[in-house]
Amino acid sequence: IKGVSKTFEDNCVLDNLSLNIKKNEFLTLLGPSGCGKTTTLKIIAGFESADSGELMFKNEDISSLPPYKRQVNTVFQKYALFPHMTVRENIELISTIEKNDKKKISEKTVELMEMVGLEKDEYLDRYPTELSGGQQQRVGVARAFATNPEVILMDEPFSALDPITRNQLQDELLELQNTLKKTIVFVTHDMDEAIKISDRICIMNEGEIAQYDTPENILKNPSNDFVSEFIGRNRIWSSPEFIRAKDIMIENPVTCFKSSSLLRCIEKMKKNKVDSLMVISKGNDLLGIVTAKQIQKMTDRSVLLENMMNNKFVTVKPEDTI
């Protein structure tokens, strides 16, 4: 997306937006209502035209192409299934219009039903009104993948679902992406959802990009106050997979040598206001750990650390997550 702008009745929805989406990546457009994320999705799909700028796909400008000529399919928020058609007819609609081989269409439909977790014999001949919201959205996802497009657009597809169903569909979508390796552009206003499913997140505000990065980098290094407030200042603690030992470890712990007496250790703990000491060698290797609780149990404070330190301790590497 190169320098795209869009205005509706004097309201600038997109302001010179430029965005590079990688092949096979799961990108989430995230932001508050009115930030321009859905308009961006509609411009990619061809449902809206930009006032200025270019939309490039494989080095070709597709800005003037109609939606049906783009290698793109969309999953909408409100399912958008045709109520007078069965599940099978909904999934096979475009392939049938394109007059593809009927046997191959049927085989593909069965395969898609398995992928989205719906039993073919039970659901293929039902109508949308006979399905739950989660089942309808599964059909919507299957239909989007039916013609094997290169790009899948998803406009808040799970926002109308209950939390349990939503969580299940997020997991299933990730599994689909791992299997099929599509380029997916996903719109949401839910930060937790974006963190869970995305390779990269584009946080938008008033038609502009506030930050475009991996979930980990956004959580660790928000680019400005808006991003900090939007994601929540303490949110990284609810995503322990993004916090590594090196992010929270004490680089200069209070240490002592194994030849130190317990009395010296207690004085050192009091002075440094700690309740444990790292016992190290002259070469700065960790030999053991001693705690205030251990020392308190000892009546003879002249005992040397090497005779009572704990040398059976758990270690982690700096890159390990908490």
Task: Using the Cα atoms of residue 317, residue 215, residue 213 and residue 221 in order, give the sign of their dihedral.
Answer: negative
Looking at the predicted structure, is the pLDDT value of residue 87 above 70? yes
Residue 145's pLDDT band (cuts 50, 70, 90): confident
Longest dimension (CA), the chain: 91
What percent of the chain shows pLDDT beyond 90?
34
Residues 6 or more apart whose Cβ sits within 8 Å of residue 99: none
> Which two structure tokens, joined as six digits, stand for 211?
């930050």
Please report the pLDDT score of residue 234 as a whole number: 66
Summary mean pLDDT of the chain: 88
Residue 39's pLDDT band (cuts 50, 70, 90): very high
- Spatial CA neighbour of 227 closest among 213, 211, 242: 211
| Gap between the Cα atoms of 211 and 235, Å rounded | 16
> Which two structure tokens, joined as six digits, stand for 148?
């094997």
| Gap between the Cα atoms of 119 and 105, Å rounded | 17
> Which two structure tokens, joined as six digits, stand for 182?
């599509």
Task: Please check whether residue 21 is in contact with residue 183, taking contact to mean a CB–CB distance below 8 angstroms.
Answer: yes
Residue 134's pLDDT band (cuts 50, 70, 90): confident
Quick one: DSSP state of residue 128?
A: G
Select, from the ranges 112-116, 208-212, 272-276, the one with the highest average predicted confidence (pLDDT).
208-212
Four-point Cα dihedral 219, 224, 230, 236, nearest 10: 20
Please report the pLDDT score of residue 220 as a whole number: 85
Residue 36's pLDDT band (cuts 50, 70, 90): very high
| Gap between the Cα atoms of 122 and 88, Å rounded | 11
Task: Please check whether residue 197 is in contact with residue 204, taking contact to mean a CB–CB distance below 8 angstroms.
Answer: no
The pTM of this model reads: 0.71
Quick one: DSSP state of residue 278?
A: E
Please report the pLDDT score of residue 79 as a whole number: 60
pLDDT digits (tens, 9 = 90+) for 264-318: 888 899 989 899 999 998 888 999 999 988 888 888 888 888 888 888 888 899 8
Task: Please check whether residue 68 is in contact with residue 76, taking contact to mean a CB–CB distance below 8 angstroms.
Answer: no
| Gap between the Cα atoms of 122 and 216, Å rounded | 41
| Gap between the Cα atoms of 127 and 268, Å rounded | 75
- Spatial CA neighbour of 242 closest among 225, 221, 212, 228: 221
